[in-house]
Structures are given as structure tokens and as C-alpha cells.
């Protein structure tokens, strides 16, 4: 485990993530995110962009692809309603010898190493948690640890992106944080051709007929403003293929069953136009 020492306090660092994700969607969105992170003058600072869209449209995939294109280590923090300020910064833990040790969060590790932090589903956090990040998200670029008394400054190379789902199970982001999370990049459901490309990338072993069937289902659902995403489509096709191998039946017979098992009976209405 890698450690660093700040003002005489040893911090155990988090490990970067390696995800098997590839952005197959709109390249314009990738360019917009990378532009937000640019620094064009020594007096300039990077933006802290937020990616907004319905669950499953690829927000985390886009963030990861952008970070990797910069050649940076990528760190991921999954926000929840129970996230506390100390969870985001530094937490004390009991070491093997019974002494108190300090663990830097993935956020603080990214700050110290000049990596990229993906704060996933940020609008699930409470205002108290967000308040601890306010100085990081403006030109001060630091966080303060109540547990250790440390003030941790981010390296110049550090970047952050926040993903936010458009659903009802979230907190309202406070205005003073809202203004710090700019620009807002909206990710919509992909067009049919893009959706097919994403399915092919994730299911290279699936036949064309299965993928076309799933894309048709998803596009009809999108037109009705349903929340079904390409992630759901991947699961439907994968489950149908597994059942095909288990039973020897034609996957086209199994796709309606897969739709029902993955999304529920109400989704069956989108199987035919």
C-alpha cells in the first residue's frame, strides 16, 4: 500500500481503478468534457464539470474515457445518502498493531497524485458532505480534514468530474455548489446507430438479429420517454443468449422472456410497434 506523509502524518493512499469501459457514443461530448478540464493560461484554472442524464446512458463511461485519454490515473468515489465529510477526505482506521492509521479517500489520493476523480452520482450526497468540498471546487483547490487537522492541496494536474442521475432519489444540490460544478454536460439516449455500436462493443459474441431486435425495442421505449437504457439492452441480450445456450432454443423466442425478466411485464408493450 502506497503512503505519503503530510505534516508528520502518514496517509495510506487509495488505489486507482481499472475499468473495462470504452466510450462508443458521441465524440462531441468527449471533446466538451476535455475542453472543460483544459488550462489555457497560468492564471486559468480547470472547470469542475458535471455530467447529467438518465441512469445507464454512459456518464461514468464518458468520464473514464476522458480521464484515460489524458493518460492520468483514475479514481472513483461512489456517493450515497450516507456519505460523510470524513468519508470524502481522510478516515481513521485501526491498524494491524492496534494503532490508529489514516486512510486518504480516492478523492484526496487523486488530489495528491494529480489524477482524475469521478464523483459518481453526486446528487445523492447531503449538503453537509458537499460543504466539505466547497474550497476544492473554486480557486482555492484544497480540502480540510477535521480528523487530522490537515489542509490538503490538489496538484495542478488534478481534475474532477461529477455524474448526476436524473431521477427522484436524489438530494437538491445547494446553489453555492451548483455554481461550482460547471459546465453542465447533458447525455441523452443515443440514436439507433450509436446504440447498435455500443451493444456490439459490449456483446461482440451476439448475432446481428439479436442486437437489431434489442435496438428496436430500446428506440421505441426512448420515444415513449421510458427510462430503459442501453445498459438494460445489454442485459436483455446477454440473458437471452445465456438461456439459448442453456436450453437450445431460438434466441428470438427467448428475447420477450428476457425483456420481462430484466424490466418487468410492463416493458413488453415496446416489443412491437
With 90 as the cut, is the pLDDT of residue 172 above it?
Answer: no
Compute the distance between CA of residue 3 and CA of residue 10 in angstroms, rounded to an integer: 6
The tens digit of pLDDT for each residue in 131-151 reads: 999 999 999 999 999 999 999
The pLDDT-based confidence of 169 (bands split at 50, 70, 90) is: low
Q: Looking at residue 171, what is its pLDDT?
A: 73
Q: How many residues does the chain have?
A: 273
Asked if residues 48 and 180 have their Cβ atoms less than 8 Å apart, the reply is yes
36: closest CA among 121, 159, 136?
A: 159
Residue 154 has pLDDT above 90, yes or no: yes
Report which listed range, 110-114, 204-208, 247-251, is most confident. Answer: 110-114
For the domain made up of 3-186, the CATH class stated in words is alpha beta
pLDDT tens digits, 196-222: 999 998 899 998 989 999 999 999 999
Q: What share of the chain in percent tops pLDDT 90?
A: 76
Ranges of each domain in the chain = 3-186, 192-270
What three-state secondary structure class fits 170? coil
pLDDT digits (tens, 9 = 90+) for 56-87: 888 999 999 999 999 999 999 999 999 999 99
Provide the percentage of residues in the chain whose pLDDT is more than 70.
98
Phi, psi of 92, deg, nearest 5 = -85, 140
Task: Compute the half-sphere exposure of residue 169: CA atoms within 13 Å on the CB side of its CA.
Answer: 6
Higher pLDDT residue, 273 or 137? Answer: 137
> What pLDDT was estimated at residue 85?
93
> Once rounded to an integer, what is the mean pLDDT over residues 176-187?
95
The residue behind cell 491498524 is 95
Quote the pLDDT of residue 22: 78
Is the pLDDT reported for residue 267 higher than 60?
yes
Average pLDDT for residues 3-30, to the nearest whole number?
A: 89
- Mean pLDDT (the chain, rounded): 92
Residue listed under C-alpha cell 451548483: 178
Amino acid at each position: 500500500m502506497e503512503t505519503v506523509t503530510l505534516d508528520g502524518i502518514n496517509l495510506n493512499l487509495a488505489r486507482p481503478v481499472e475499468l473495462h469501459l470504452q466510450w462508443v457514443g458521441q465524440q462531441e461530448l468527449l471533446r466538451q468534457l476535455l475542453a472543460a478540464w483544459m488550462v489555457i493560461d497560468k492564471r486559468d484554472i480547470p472547470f469542475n464539470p458535471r455530467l447529467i442524464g438518465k441512469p445507464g446512458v454512459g456518464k461514468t463511461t464518458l468520464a473514464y474515457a476522458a480521464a484515460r485519454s489524458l493518460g492520468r490515473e483514475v479514481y472513483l468515489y461512489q456517493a450515497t445518502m450516507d456519505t460523510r465529510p470524513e468519508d470524502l477526505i481522510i478516515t481513521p482506521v485501526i491498524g494491524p498493531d492496534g494503532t490508529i492509521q489514516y486512510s486518504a479517500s480516492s478523492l484526496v489520493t487523486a488530489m495528491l497524485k494529480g489524477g482524475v476523480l469521478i464523483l459518481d452520482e453526486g446528487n445523492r450526497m447531503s449538503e453537509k458532505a458537499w460543504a466539505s468540498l466547497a474550497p476544492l471546487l473554486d480557486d482555492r483547490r484544497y480540502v480540510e480534514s477535521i480528523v487530522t487537522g490537515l489542509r490538503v492541496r490538489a496538484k495542478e494536474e488534478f481534475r474532477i468530474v461529477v455524474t448526476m442521475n436524473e431521477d427522484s432519489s436524489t438530494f437538491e444540490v445547494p446553489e453555492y455548489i451548483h455554481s461550482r460544478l460547471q459546465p453542465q454536460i447533458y447525455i441523452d439516449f443515443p440514436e439507433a446507430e450509436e446504440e447498435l455500436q455500443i451493444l456490439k462493443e459490449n456483446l461482440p459474441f451476439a448475432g446481428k438479429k439479436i442486437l437489431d431486435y434489442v435496438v428496436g425495442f430500446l428506440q421505441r421505449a426512448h420515444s415513449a420517454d421510458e427510462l430503459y437504457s442501453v445498459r438494460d439492452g445489454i442485459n436483455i441480450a446477454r440473458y437471452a443468449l445465456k438461456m439459448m445456450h442453456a436450453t437450445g432454443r431460438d434466441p428470438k423466442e427467448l428475447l420477450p422472456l428476457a425483456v420481462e425478466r430484466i424490466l418487468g411485464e410492463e416493458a413488453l408493450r415496446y416489443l412491437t410497434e
